[in-house]
């Protein structure tokens, strides 16, 4: 053997007596910034790293600029209140305890990191929520956390498959209109998703380091876990995620027998899991006053609360207006399918098909972890029958892993087409067109890209009237912009203008201080919008019935401008040219039915598509016993706004008073089909059944009326009367006592 060969052999054998010699030995695996095991092509890493950095920086700037122009979301009323109470709690050294329990919005069940951070910055700048800059500060940090999430998704993909995968995942995240839109103004779901992205990235790095754990990696996992938990109690999911990853790594290395044969190593893994989890947990509760007061009990209680999500609201889903606790099991799946851009949706679906190849091509444990992090939460909320609001935003934390899998799929397809130039170019064209579709939507809707629906669903045009669009009413900001551009709102104006809106908080925070009392904001319910006097109305499409939206009668002829997304109306600006509708409502309050009828008719002569005027007219005519006219007016209201509950109710009353019991019964059931909490319909059905001597059916409807409205005295009296007729004196007396107590 030659001397050269002997030296080479000697270098290959580690010295068992010197661990330092082994540590100084050049690494035999790629460095973290090179391709991970199983990467598909040699890349010019320096070049791609520069592209990644340039893209990341550009995305940060664009996202921040977009966020500064975004409107205040409808939930910020609760967030900003919590922010103020958090600041007061910490600056008072815990003496101010309002942050420990907040009944309105249940905000004490949320971690306080984001709201404390932005609250302290706004406090230092002397800003309150009536200052425009106050909300820009919050949106700036919202954009930062959105960008952090995008960045770590890119880094996670790079860690698994190299810089090209990282660039692709980063771009996919940014060009996802729903995610980008939420990054502009959603302070709950975006920091939560960012925490998951950070934790998943550092967990993947940990899998390369095991059985060692570098302190930087441990801190990274803890920070990700802490950020998620300091936003929502669901951040606790990251503990079993980490345990799953480390457990799979241990089993792949040592097998099940390794648990007994390598007990010391198994305990080391458990120690890592416990240590990182504890550090993240402590970080989270430090910014969460209610959790500081009860470090173990409160986060677990909050986790239960979010599974049940006690706050229930009305949602628009597949053309039905339903309560959030009554949605079908596939509610989140449909929303994901319709609103995730095609390059991610088809990429993720493809990754499921190519799972065996991905498992072999890349490090297997990260692939398993990514699939678990994407699929498990969806199945969990379905099995638990959890209440979700407004699409799948509560599940947005699954999107980072979903995007990484999509990027791995497209790169895998590229590898399969290696050598097939035509196929490769076709692949680039397909992905490019998908990216172009979402890019155009973002460019056309920079203020509210979160209203996006993908091409599979037919876009937002097909979604209108079927699904919620601008459910947070952020487009009210653009309504105010238009009013300023038109000179309707002018700081030099000497006249006082009143704006009526059902999104009071976003509108009032923009105008009340800015115009120094010359512009006032008044809350009005959309279905009672003319019961208050105002000059201009700002009404987003949220809470309007599906049939009304699809009828083409909203916005109505009183609208002077409409904020749209790709031609679809999001918010209408109405102007009160005269006050006939309001004066008619005043006459109704005074029970001057003749005058009310005249004024409603005058309103309808100008605006025949005003469904509330038709309803008011029907009511006025019912009270004058003009039953045929009242029935006609009620039916007209239903032509303008189909399935509106009051129109159905007045129709039922007109039929009942005219002696059409069968028609009235059917109409009252129609009311309940639209709104099962319309307790007056239950009451009248009970009366009808009682008069027909159907006492069991009458009792069922009467009990439902008081169950829905426990303060409905007439309902209790009716229940008592039915029980009396059935010979049940005890229950009759009990319900009479209940009625007398009201």
Please state the rounded mean pLDDT for residues 663-669. Answer: 96
Q: Residue 248: which residues within 8 A CB-CB, separation 6 or more?
A: 364, 365, 368, 369
The average pLDDT across 601-619 equals 96
Highest mean pLDDT, choosing among 174-188, 300-314, 513-527 = 174-188
pLDDT for the residue numbered 306: 62
CA pair distance 532, 523, nearest whole angstrom? 9
Q: Is the confidence at residue 310, as pLDDT, over 80?
A: no
State how far the Cα of 205 lies from the Cα of 692, in Å rounded to an integer: 74
**Domains of the chain: which residue ranges?**
45-444, 476-575, 580-740
Pairing status of strand 536-540 against strand 497-501: parallel
As a whole number, the mean pLDDT across the chain is 91
Contacts of 407 (CB under 8 A, 6+ apart): 157, 161, 165, 168, 169, 172, 347
- Spatial CA neighbour of 580 closest among 558, 596, 556, 593: 596
pTM score, whole prediction: 0.89
Confidence class for position 10, pLDDT limits 50, 70, 90: very low
Cα–Cα dist 498/362, whole Å: 62
The total of other beta-carbon atoms located within 10 Å of residue 351's CB is 24
pLDDT tens, position by position, 193-241: 999 999 999 999 999 999 889 999 999 999 999 999 999 999 999 999 9
In this structure, what DSSP letter does residue 573 have?
Answer: E
Each residue's pLDDT tens digit, 28-85: 433 333 333 444 445 578 899 999 999 999 999 999 999 999 999 988 999 999 999 9
Provide mean pLDDT across the span 173-190.
Answer: 97
pLDDT of residue 383: 92
Residue 439, pLDDT score: 98
Tens digit of each residue's pLDDT (9 = 90 or more) over 562-604: 999 999 999 999 999 888 999 999 999 999 999 999 999 999 9
> What does each C-alpha distance from 68 to 144, 656, 712 come to in angstroms?
12, 56, 47
Residue 13 pLDDT > 70: no
Which value, to the nearest 10 degrees, does the dihedral of the CA atoms of residues 568, 571, 577, 579 take? 130
| pLDDT given at position 4 | 43
- Token pair in block for residue 627: 């039953």
Average pLDDT over residues 370-389: 92
Q: 516 vs 154, which has greater pLDDT?
A: 154
Tell me the mean pLDDT in the region 444-463. 96
Average pLDDT in the 534-548 region?
Answer: 94
- Cα 57 vs. chain centroid, distance in angstroms? 27
Note the pLDDT of residue 8: 41
Q: Which two tokens stand for residue 593?
A: 């039915």
Q: Is pLDDT at 321 greater than 90 in this prediction?
A: no
Q: Which two tokens stand for residue 22?
A: 């082994």
Cβ distance 295 to 261 under 8 Å? no
Does residue 22 carry a pLDDT above 50? Answer: no
Write the class of the CATH domain 580-740. Answer: mainly alpha
Identify the pLDDT of residue 1: 42
User: Could you give the percent of the chain with pLDDT greater than 90?
Assistant: 82
Residue 625 burial class via C-beta count within 10 angstroms: exposed 0-12, middle 13-18, buried 19 and up? exposed
Residue 40: its pLDDT value, please?
44
Mean pLDDT of 318-329: 88
A 10 A CB-CB count for 11 gives 10
Determine the Cα angle at 82 with ends 77 and 85, to 5°.
Answer: 130
Kindly write down the DSSP assignment for every residue of 234-283, as one continuous string.
Answer: GGGGHHHHHHHHHHHHHHHHHTTTHHHHTHHHHHHHHHHHHHHHHHHHHH
């Amino acid at each position: 053997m030659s001397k050269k060969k002997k030296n080479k052999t000697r270098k290959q054998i580690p010295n068992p007596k010197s661990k330092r010699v082994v540590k100084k030995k050049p690494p035999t695996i790629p460095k973290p910034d090179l391709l991970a095991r199983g990467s598909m092509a040699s890349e010019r890493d320096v070049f791609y790293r520069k592209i990644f950095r340039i893209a990341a920086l550009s995305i940060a700037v664009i996202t921040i600029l977009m966020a500064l122009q975004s409107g205040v979301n409808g939930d910020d009323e609760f967030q900003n209140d919590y922010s103020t109470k958090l600041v007061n709690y910490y600056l008072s050294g815990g003496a101010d305890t309002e942050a420990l329990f907040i009944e309105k919005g249940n905000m004490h069940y949320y971690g306080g990191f984001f709201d404390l951070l932005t609250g302290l910055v706004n406090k230092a700048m002397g800003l309150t929520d009536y200052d425009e800059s106050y909300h820009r500060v919050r949106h700036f940090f919202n954009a930062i956390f959105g960008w952090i999430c995008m960045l770590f998704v890119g880094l996670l993909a790079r860690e698994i498959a190299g810089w090209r995968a990282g660039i692709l995942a980063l771009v996919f995240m940014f060009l996802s209109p729903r995610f980008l839109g939420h990054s502009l103004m959603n302070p709950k779901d975006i920091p939560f998703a960012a925490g998951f992205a950070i934790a998943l990235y550092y967990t993947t790095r940990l899998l390369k380091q095991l059985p060692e754990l570098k302190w930087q990696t441990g801190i990274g996992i803890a920070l990700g876990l802490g950020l998620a938990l300091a936003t929502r109690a669901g951040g606790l999911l990251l503990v079993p995620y980490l345990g799953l990853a480390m457990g799979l790594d241990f089993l792949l290395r040592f097998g099940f027998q390794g648990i007994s044969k390598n007990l010391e190593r198994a305990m080391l893994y458990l120690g890592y899991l416990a240590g990182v989890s504890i550090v993240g947990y402590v970080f989270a509760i430090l910014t969460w006053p209610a959790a500081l007061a009860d470090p173990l009990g409160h986060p677990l209680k909050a986790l239960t609360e979010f599974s049940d999500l006690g706050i229930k609201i009305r949602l628009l889903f597949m053309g039905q207006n339903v309560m959030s606790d009554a949605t079908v099991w596939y509610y989140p799946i449909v929303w994901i399918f319709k609103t995730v851009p095609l390059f991610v949706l088809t990429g993720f679906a493809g990754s499921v098909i190519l799972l065996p190849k991905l498992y072999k091509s890349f490090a297997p444990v990260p692939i398993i972890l990514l699939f678990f992090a994407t699929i498990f939460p969806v199945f969990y909320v379905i099995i638990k029958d959890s209440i979700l609001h407004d699409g799948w935003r509560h599940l947005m934390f699954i999107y980072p892993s979903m995007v990484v899998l999509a990027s791995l799929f497209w790169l895998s397809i590229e590898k399969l087409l290696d050598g097939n130039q035509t196929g490769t170019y076709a692949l680039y064209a397909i992905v490019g067109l998908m990216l172009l579709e979402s890019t155009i939507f973002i460019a056309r809707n920079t203020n509210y890209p979160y209203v996006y629906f993908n091409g599979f669903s037919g876009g937002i045009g097909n979604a209108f009237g079927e699904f919620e669009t601008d459910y947070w009413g952020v487009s009210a900001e653009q309504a105010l912009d238009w009013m300023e551009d038109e000179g309707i709102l002018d700081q030099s104006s000497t006249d006082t203008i009143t704006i009526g809106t059902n999104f009071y908080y976003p509108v009032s925070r923009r105008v009340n201080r800015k115009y120094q009392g010359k512009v006032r904001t008044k809350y009005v319910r959309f279905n009672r919008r003319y019961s208050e006097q105002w000059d201009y109305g700002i009404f987003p499409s949220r809470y309007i019935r599906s049939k009304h939206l699809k009828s083409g009668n909203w916005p109505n002829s009183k609208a002077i401008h409409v904020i749209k997304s790709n031609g679809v109306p999001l918010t209408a600006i109405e102007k009160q040219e005269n006050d006939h509708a309001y004066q008619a409502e005043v006459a109704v309050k005074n029970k001057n039915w003749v005058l009310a009828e005249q004024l409603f008719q005058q309103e309808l002569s100008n605006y025949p598509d005003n469904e509330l005027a038709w309803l008011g007219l029907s009511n006025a005519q019912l009270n004058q016993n003009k039953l045929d006219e009242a029935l006609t007016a009620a039916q007209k209201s239903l032509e303008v706004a189909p399935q509106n509950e009051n129109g159905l109710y007045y129709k039922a009353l007109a039929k009942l008073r005219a002696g059409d019991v069968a028609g009235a019964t059917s109409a009252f059931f129609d009311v309940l089909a639209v709104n099962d909490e319309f307790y007056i319909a239950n009451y009248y059905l009970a009366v009808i059944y009682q008069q027909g001597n159907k006492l069991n059916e009458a009792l069922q409807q009467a009990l439902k009326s008081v169950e829905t409205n426990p303060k409905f005295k007439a309902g209790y009296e009716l229940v008592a009367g039915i029980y009396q007729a059935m010979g049940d004196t005890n229950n009759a007396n009990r319900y009479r006592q209940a009625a007398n107590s009201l």
